[in-house]
């Protein structure tokens, strides 16, 4: 179906890059899918769109059909996630979520469920607790909504029911294998029983249930490592933000350690790895 010449939609700004003198090219997630659009003159201080089309804002916009790309003709911010801009860790999680969506969702694809998931994620990352666990919930939901849901209940090889024991995750087949099959697969990684329970819990509950979980650090780490391997394998390339989150966490740990010494002079982490600022 051809697009109407002018349309109104809600959108989240996933990515922005400057273009020409005063324009900006924006990658947006809308309930109807991901689109790349041009915001003309948005970098002029006098532009009425300025401030409404900031990164991660939820905005109502008017799009007009352009020659190569749709043009934003009006924009009204509906929700600005202020807290993201005052907390580097929260901001980094938002960057990571936006980057994952950008990489997993091809142009013109997406759904209102995916849009709602991203809105919920941005709200959570701006004010919620336990960002790591919520990030796992986001990753699993994103995989499910884009057709890459990992198989967590039956062995991906023999299709037998998985028992309550250490099973193995095979990245190539995208799911758990029983020990008998798993041990035959080169590179399959053991997954503890508690990590499997958490994965199934996150995969089957709504987002309100996430806050009811409290995990030990070792489980957090095991699930995080596994999810990053799954995502990286699925995308077939290293995610910039994943590497950045790892680096940021070690820098924060160093800063914490140096605080305990007198006259600690640790530098704040440098944010030099935003998705596509180039
Ligand atoms: Zn099996």
Contact 167, 176 (CB under 8 A): yes
Residues of the chain with pLDDT under 50: 238, 261-278
CA of 231 to the centre of ligand 1 (A): 23
Q: What is the pLDDT of residue 67?
A: 86
3-class state of residue 269 by DSSP: coil
3-class state of residue 102 by DSSP: helix
Q: 136, 196, 186: which is closest to 161 by C-alpha?
A: 196
Boundaries of every domain in the chain: 6-82
Q: What is the pLDDT of residue 266?
A: 41
Contact 105, 32 (CB under 8 A): no
Q: What is the pLDDT of residue 49?
A: 78
CATH tag, 6-82: 2.40.50.140
Q: What is the pLDDT of residue 268?
A: 40
Q: What is the pLDDT of residue 260?
A: 58
Q: What is the pLDDT of residue 94?
A: 96
Cross-strand bridge partners of residue 176: 169
CA of 168 to the centre of ligand 1 (A): 10
CA of 230 to the centre of ligand 1 (A): 19
Q: What is the pLDDT of residue 246?
A: 67
Q: What is the pLDDT of residue 180?
A: 97
Q: What is the pLDDT of residue 4?
A: 74
CA 164 to CA 49: how far, in whole Å? 55
Listed residues: CB within 5 A of ion ligand 1: 155, 157-158, 178, 181
CA of 222 to the centre of ligand 1 (A): 22
Sheet strand arrangement including 189-191 = 175-177, 167-170, 189-191
Helix axes 88-104, 131-145, angle to 10 degrees: 10
Cross-strand bridge partners of residue 77: 59
């Amino acid at each position: 179906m051809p697009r109407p010449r002018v349309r109104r939609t809600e959108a989240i700004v996933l990515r922005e890059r400057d273009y020409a003198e005063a324009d900006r090219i924006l990658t947006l997630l809308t309930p109807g899918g991901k689109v790349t659009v041009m915001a003309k003159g948005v970098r002029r201080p006098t532009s009425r769109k300025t401030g409404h089309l900031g990164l991660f804002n939820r905005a109502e916009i008017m799009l007009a059909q352009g020659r190569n790309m749709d043009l934003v003709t009006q924009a009204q911010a509906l929700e600005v996630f202020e807290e993201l801009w005052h907390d580097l860790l929260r901001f980094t999680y938002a960057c990571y979520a936006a980057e994952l969506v950008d990489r997993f969702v091809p142009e013109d694809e997406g759904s209102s469920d995916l849009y709602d998931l991203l809105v919920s994620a941005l709200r959570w990352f701006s004010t919620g607790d336990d960002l790591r666990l919520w990030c796992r919930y986001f990753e699993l939901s994103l995989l499910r909504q884009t057709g890459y849901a990992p198989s967590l209940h039956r062995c991906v090889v023999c299709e037998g029911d998985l028992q309550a024991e250490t099973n193995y995750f095979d990245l190539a087949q995208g799911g758990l294998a029983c020990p008998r099959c798993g041990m035959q697969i080169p590179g399959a990684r053991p997954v503890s029983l508690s990590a499997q329970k958490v994965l199934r819990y996150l995969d089957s509950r709504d987002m309100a249930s996430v806050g009811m979980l409290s995990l030990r650090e070792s489980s957090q780490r095991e699930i995080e490592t596994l999810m990053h391997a799954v995502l990286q394998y699925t995308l077939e390339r290293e995610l910039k933000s994943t590497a950045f989150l790892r680096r940021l966490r070690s820098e924060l740990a160093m800063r914490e350690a140096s605080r305990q010494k007198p006259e600690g002079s640790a530098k704040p982490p440098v944010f030099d790895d935003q998705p596509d600022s180039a």
